[in-house]
Amino acid sequence: MLKTKKSFFERVTGSTSIDSDGRQEQSNMPIYAEEEETEMIMRAEPQQHQQHMYAEEENFSSDAEGQLTIDVYQTDMEIVIKSTIAGVKPEDLDVSINNDMVTIKGERKNEEAVSVENYYYQECYWGHFSRSVVLPVDIISDKAEASLKNGILTIRLPKADTTKIKRIQVRGF
């Protein structure tokens, strides 16, 4: 015979359940002894299924485009965007400014061909990536600069002086 215990609600409140005849109901929550517990055996998946699983991941990553992680901050004079882009050559990067948006595109090429079944872990992203950032203030795009040093891309965007008032003369015809 199984032992029973009070429900969580009964233990918290100290109450007991009473049926429609006014008798105390027995709780249906069984308590099992440790020796009654069964042992679960974990089995490795067949090697063929694992290869199929990796092949699906490889197909997904070849079609997908990675997204860069970035830091964007401002100084008194400029907006600065920084991103870690290790393993990418400057000629494989494209930085474009369109109105109030900066887009960074590129490709990280894996120069070593390793078969999928030889990987223990594959966490690095290889392939095309991009990231677009909406700028919080107006900038002077003609004076923007981008540099790549020690795997860190730094884009400096001078702020446009929106507080400066420009007066123009009205000509009559």
Domain that holds residue 21: 3-36
> Does residue 107 share a domain with residue 57?
yes
> Does residue 53 share a domain with residue 120?
yes
- Residue 111: CATH number of its domain: 2.60.40.790
What confidence score (pLDDT) does residue 74 get?
93
> Does residue 28 share a domain with residue 100?
no
Domain assignment present for 165: no
Tokens 């860069």 belong to 68
Picking from 68, 50, 46, the residue whose alpha carbon sits closest to that of residue 58 is 50
> Does residue 70 share a domain with residue 24?
no
> Does residue 51 share a domain with residue 27?
no
Q: How many domains does the chain have?
A: 2
Higher-scoring residue by pLDDT: 37, 9: 9
> Does residue 14 share a domain with residue 84?
no
The tens digit of pLDDT for each residue in 62-89 reads 456 777 889 999 999 999 999 998 888 8
List the single range of 35-39, 115-119, 140-144 with lowest mean pLDDT: 35-39
Task: Express the helix, strand and coil content of the chain in percent, nearest 5 each.
Answer: 20, 35, 45
Domain assignment present for 171: no
Kindly state the average pLDDT of the residues 128-145.
91
